[in-house]
Amino acid sequence: MTESLRIVIAEDSAILRDGLAGLLTERGHEVVAMIGDATTLSDVVGLHNPDVAVVDVRMPPSFTDEGLLAAIELRRKYPMTGVLVFSQWVETRYATELLAGGASGVGYLLKDRVADVRDFVDALHRVATGGTALDPEVVSQLMGASRQQDSLTRLTPREREVLELMAQGLSNNAIATSLSVTERAVEKHIGNIFTKLDLPPSDTHHRRVLAVLRLKG
């Protein structure tokens, strides 16, 4: 049994908000706060100190990107709190900003593509404990915006495949299993990706994320 989580939900749909809270409570987790807009999210997280916040993207008052901007603020102010964006929409610009500081403790899932509650709860727990949960469609759209860059055209088909799996938050071992290759081969592919994208080792940047999300050359 996974450890019980303390969760804040920011979702403007009352039905979805209450339904999500019910599902999580039934599975032994504690929903410490629910809000219908993003304006107070930072204050609520500061007050309750949850393990993870579930945040919609398009929320009042303009229903554009308030939730995602609030999620970015959470990452800045409360880096120990996991942030799982749960939306129908992929906002590539701010999703890139959300992940630019590193993928640890971040997730982005699409509502219409979550078919199993257990998968959602597993993703939530992974984010809350410092892991990553990115929907493949989110990864595809983020990578699609960056495929125009000359640097990405240097990648072989296999390296691009490794990069896509890496961006979903899979470990080297999980990538090796998915592709039916050795972990050593995966390490070699990742090294080639970093070299071809001109991403030298750095203490301040997360190369695995930058390799996927670099949208500006």
Domains located in the chain, CATH noted:
6-144 (3.40.50.2300), 155-214 (1.10.10.10)
pLDDT of residue 214: 53
CB 99 within 8 A of CB 77: no
pLDDT of residue 44: 97
- The average pLDDT across 11-25 equals 95
H or E element at residue 6: strand 6-10
The pLDDT tens digits for 117-143 are 999 999 999 999 999 888 888 877 776
The pLDDT tens digits for 171-209 are 899 999 999 999 999 999 999 988 888 777 765 447 777
pLDDT of residue 216: 34
First and final C-alpha spacing in the chain? 44
> By three-state DSSP, how is residue 52 classified?
strand
Amino acid identity of 14?
A
Between CA 183 and CA 11 the distance in angstroms is 40
Give pTM, 2 decimals: 0.68
Strand partners, 34: 9
